[in-house]
């Protein structure tokens, strides 16, 4: 090694034999800046953004730590702030403290879940944690799962496995059944699978936003008359706009009768199934072949954190295994790059594991129950005379004033969202059945009843 390179060794990378004082110093400063940003949330609001924010690109010479820390501060000060109590727009709660630590450790480890030899302890950790989840929701010993980068990818992993299991390949005659309120990413999934929107069959929902069982039966009969082959039926456990739960028990019965793969998109509500919180349908989730659970969306595991759990792990291995010719394998341990779409993956599971270990089941329940409590409080207090309200058993409420015509809902919600933002409340405005609604997601642990009362004042509700 040349002198030159030696000089830069512990500036570019951690030292393998020194005390890493430089890194310790930098981490301390970064931690300080991050924590100052958290505590300044009240001053800046949920979504500060200066149009003059400068995205400075790398130059010939590298920048000093001083310059970079100043840019980090500017980046933070112009970022969405999930810890602000008015951050109520989306499924992006404040980050769990032990999850932040997990992300730091995962970055430092830089292990790769592609293969056991690149991540021995993390491979075992991910396998065990998926199994723990699978057992908690009532799957048996054959079950397990794989983590992925978000709900869309977990669902896609499941659908590809379902199709492989049904021996359908990219048969253009194959269809996927979802409710009309299922998440928009299923459109992407069908495209990625070499199909198009005509292969995505929408089953009607009832007036509570749940899949209509009679319509499901009729749709299946129609499919069979037209000789369509069913890849899977997707039941949504928590719809995006109103948090509705499809009738999982009845859907699972139909799937068993007709030998169809049942996938549950539990991106929003799946995590409730590991607790004893009594919500209808949760004790039937073990009847599914696969379920997506997305702990990033509600309990604050830092992004990304999503799991696909399957009742039979061999379905994933049969679908995705390639032999991975350039990696050694170990007896009885499957390389986890062979169980899903993604190859290289970071050791993200650490933040899920640390977060859950810190919370315990009681902590998970506390966070979930508190979101439902905030939703219940909001619904109790909002004027039912003035507003049409769409909600379900989970923590999401969409609403619109009763007098607003569908053609005016776009401008009404736009104006209201802007007005609320000026008062440090961030809500979203989903388009739902040709109407725009305001949506509040009550997953923010920092939001108190007095914040909700203040929000309702701005809504004139
Ligand atoms: C019900 C549902 N499924 C899937 C997704 C997609 O999840 P992700 O954004 O993590 O890919 C979402 C996102 O909000 C969702 O609400």
Return the CATH number at 449. 3.90.1150.10
Assess whether pLDDT exceeds 60 at residue 375: yes
Query: Contact 266/237 with Cβ under 8 angstroms?
Result: yes
Look at residue 138 and give its three-state secondary structure: coil
Are 323 and 375 contained in the same domain? no
Q: Is the CB of 428 under 6 A from ligand 1?
A: no
Cβ atoms 391, 371 nearer than 8 A:
no
Residue 92 lies in a domain: no
Domain annotation covers residue 85: no
Q: Which residue has the tokens 């009404």?
A: 412
Residue 292 Cβ inside 6 Å of ligand 1? The answer reads no
Q: How far is the CA of 288 from the centre of ligand 1 (A)?
A: 19
* 379/293 same-domain check: no
Decide: 154 and 308 in contact? Cβ < 8 Å.
Answer: yes
CA 230 to chain centroid, in Å, comes to 26
Peptide bond into 304 cis (omega under 30): yes
Q: Decide: 268 in ligand 1 pocket, CB within 6 A.
A: yes
Q: 375 with 347, same domain?
A: no
Ligand 1 atom with minimal separation from the 150 CA: 10
**350 shares its domain with 377:** no
pLDDT digits (tens, 9 = 90+) for 179-220: 999 999 999 999 999 999 999 999 999 999 999 999 999 999
Quick one: average pLDDT of 330-359? Answer: 96
Half-sphere exposure of 106 (CA within 13 A, CB side): 26
User: At which of 356, 390, 413 does a domain end?
Assistant: 356
Strand order from edge to edge, sheet including 229-236: 144-148, 306-310, 290-293, 262-266, 229-236, 174-179, 200-203
User: Which one of 91, 267, 304 would you pick to mutate in the ligand 1 pocket, going by the greatest count of ligand atoms within 8 A of its CB?
Assistant: 267
267 and 122 share one domain: yes
CA of 183 to the centre of ligand 1 (A): 6
Give distance in angstroms: CA of 368 to centre of ligand 1: 18
Pocket flag, ligand 1, residue 150 (CB < 6 Å): yes
Is residue 404 predicted with pLDDT exceeding 80?
yes
The answer to the question of residue 20 being in a domain is yes
Closest residue (by CA) to atom 5 of ligand 1? 151
Residue 201, both tokens: 């069959």
Last residue of a domain, one of 356, 389, 422: 356
Nearest CA to ligand 1 atom 16: 240
Q: Is 89 within the bounds of a domain?
A: no
Q: Is the CB of 91 inside a 6 Å radius of any atom of ligand 1? A: yes
- Nearest atom in ligand 1 to the alpha carbon of residue 154 is 11
Residues 137 and 273 in one domain: yes
Higher pLDDT, 4 or 304: 304
Does residue 236 line the site of ligand 1, with CB under 6 A? yes
CATH number at residue 265: 3.40.640.10
List the one residue out of 461, 406, 395, 459 whose CA is nearest residue 437: 406
Do both 155 and 275 map to the same domain?
A: yes
Instruction: Please determine, for residue 231, whether its predicted confidence score (pLDDT) is greater than 90.
Output: yes
Minimum-distance ligand 1 atom for the alpha carbon of 155: 4
pLDDT-above-90 percentage for the chain? 92
Cα 206 to middle of ligand 1, angstroms: 21
State whether the beta carbon of 179 lies less than 6 angstroms from ligand 1: no
Say if residue 107 is in the same domain as residue 210: yes
Q: For residue 247, report the distance from its CA to the centre of ligand 1, in Å.
A: 19
* pLDDT at res. 1: 45
Q: Are residues 306 and 281 in the same domain?
A: yes
Question: Ligand 1 pocket, 209 CB below 6 A?
Answer: no
Residues contacting 3, CB < 8 A, separation 6+: none
- Give residue 151 CA to ligand 1 midpoint distance, Å: 5
Mean pLDDT, rounded, for 141-161? 98
Last residue within a domain, chosen from 327, 356, 385: 356
Atom of ligand 1 nearest to the CA of 239: 1
CB of 152 closer than 6 A to ligand 1? yes
351 lines ligand 1 (CB under 6 A): no
What's residue 9's pLDDT? 66
pLDDT digits (tens, 9 = 90+) for 244-283: 999 999 999 999 999 999 999 999 999 999 999 999 999 9
Residue 285 lies in a domain: yes
Q: Is the CB of 307 under 6 A from ligand 1?
A: no
The pTM for the full model equals 0.97
3-state DSSP assignment of residue 205: strand
Asked if residue 342 and residue 248 are part of one domain, the reply reads: yes
**Residues 245/236, Cβ–Cβ less than 8 Å:** yes
Q: Is the pLDDT of residue 38 over 50?
A: yes
Structural domain range at position 42: 3-80
227: left (phi over 0), alpha (psi -120 to 50) or beta: left
Quick check: is 47 in a domain?
Answer: yes
Residues 373 and 276 in one domain: no
State the sign of the Cα–Cα–Cα–Cα dihedral 194, 257, 140, 272. positive
Distance separating alpha carbons of residues 458 and 456, to the nearest angstrom? 5
Q: Which atom of ligand 1 is nearest to the CA of 303?
A: 10
Q: Ligand 1 pocket test: pick from 185, 187, 292 the residue with the most ligand atoms within 8 Å of its Cβ.
A: 185
In this prediction, residue 50 has a pLDDT band, given cuts at 50, 70 and 90, of confident
Give the per-residue pLDDT at 10.
65
Kindly give the number of the ligand 1 atom that is closest to the alpha carbon of 182.
Answer: 1
User: What was the pLDDT predicted at 442?
Assistant: 98
Q: If you measure from the C-alpha of residue 241 to the centroid of ligand 1, how many angstroms do you get, rounded to a whole number?
A: 11
Alpha-carbon span 84 to 392, nearest angstrom: 25
Least confident of 48-57, 231-240, 449-458: 48-57
Let me know: does 74 contact 49? Beta carbons within 8 Å: no
Q: Is the CB of 424 under 6 A from ligand 1?
A: no
Q: What was the pLDDT predicted at 136?
A: 98
pLDDT at 2: 47
As a whole number of Å, the CA-based R_g of the chain is 24
Q: What is the pLDDT of residue 190?
A: 97
Instruction: Give the percent of the chain with pLDDT over 70.
Output: 98
* 3-state DSSP assignment of residue 388: strand
Q: What pLDDT score does 371 carry?
A: 98
- Is it the case that residue 461 has pLDDT exceeding 80? no
Atom of ligand 1 nearest to the CA of 236: 1
What pLDDT, on the 0 to 100 scale, is given for residue 277?
A: 97
**pLDDT grade for 174, boundaries at 50, 70 and 90:** very high
Structural domain includes residue 362: no
The residue to mutate among 183, 263, 430, having the most atoms of ligand 1 within 8 angstroms of its beta carbon, is 183
Please answer whether residues 223 and 200 qualify as being in contact, where contact means their C-beta atoms are separated by less than 8 angstroms: no
How many domains does the chain divide into? 3
Q: Is residue 405 part of a domain?
A: yes
Beta carbon of 185 within 6 Å of any ligand 1 atom: yes
pLDDT of amino acid 7 = 67
Q: Is 181's C-beta closer than 6 angstroms to any atom of ligand 1?
A: no
Whether residue 166 sits in one domain with residue 123: yes
Pairing verdict, β 174-179 and 229-236: parallel
State the DSSP string of 163-193: HHHTT-TT-TTEEEEEETTS-THHHHHHHHT
């Amino acid at each position: 090694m040349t002198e030159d390179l030696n000089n830069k060794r512990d500036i570019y990378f951690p030292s393998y034999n020194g005390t890493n004082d430089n890194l310790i110093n930098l981490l301390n400063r970064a931690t300080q800046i991050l924590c100052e940003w958290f505590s300044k949330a009240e001053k800046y609001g949920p979504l500060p953004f200066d149009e003059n924010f400068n995205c400075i690109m790398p130059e010939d010479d590298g920048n000093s730590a001083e310059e970079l820390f100043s840019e980090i501060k500017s980046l933070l000060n112009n970022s969405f702030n999930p810890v602000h109590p008015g951050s109520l727009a989306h499924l992006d709660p404040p980050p769990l403290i032990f999850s932040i630590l997990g992300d730091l450790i995962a970055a430092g480890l830089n292990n790769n879940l592609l293969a056991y030899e690149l991540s021995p302890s993390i491979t075992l950790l991910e396998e065990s944690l998926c199994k723990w989840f699978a057992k908690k929701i009532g799957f048996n010993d054959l079950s397990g799962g794989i983590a992925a980068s978000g709900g869309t990818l977990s669902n896609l992993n499941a659908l590809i496995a379902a199709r492989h299991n049904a021996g359908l390949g990219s048969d253009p005659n194959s269809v996927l059944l979802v409710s009309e309120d299922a998440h928009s990413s299923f459109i992407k999934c069908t495209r990625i699978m070499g199909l198009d929107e005509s292969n995505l069959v929408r089953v009607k929902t009832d007036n509570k936003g749940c899949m209509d069982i009679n319509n499901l039966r009729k749709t299946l009969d129609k499919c069979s008359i037209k000789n369509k082959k069913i890849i899977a039926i997707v039941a949504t456990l928590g719809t995006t706009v109103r948090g509705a739960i499809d009738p999982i028990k009845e859907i699972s019965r139909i799937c068993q009768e007709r030998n169809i793969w049942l996938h549950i998109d539990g991106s929003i509500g799946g995590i409730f199934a590991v607790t004893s919180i009594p919500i209808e349908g949760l004790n039937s989730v073990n009847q599914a072949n696969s379920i997506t659970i997305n702990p990033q969306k509600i309990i604050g595991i830092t992004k990304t954190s999503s799991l696909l759990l399957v009742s039979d792990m061999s379905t994933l291995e049969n679908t995705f295994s390639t032999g991975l010719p350039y990696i050694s394998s170990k007896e009885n341990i499957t390389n986890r790059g062979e169980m899903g779409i993604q190859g290289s993956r970071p050791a993200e599971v650490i933040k899920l594991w640390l977060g859950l270990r810190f919370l315990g089941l009681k902590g998970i329940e506390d966070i979930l129950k508190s979101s439902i409590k905030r939703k219940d409080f909001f619904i109790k207090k909002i004027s039912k005379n003035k507003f049409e309200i769409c909600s379900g058993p989970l923590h999401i409420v969409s609403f619109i004033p009763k007098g607003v015509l569908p053609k005016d809902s776009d401008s009404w919600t736009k104006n209201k969202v802007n007005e609320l933002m000026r008062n440090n409340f961030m809500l979203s405005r989903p388009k739902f059945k040709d109407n725009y609604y305001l949506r509040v997601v009550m997953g923010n642990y920092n939001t108190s009843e007095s914040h909700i009362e203040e929000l309702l004042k701005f809504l004139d509700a």
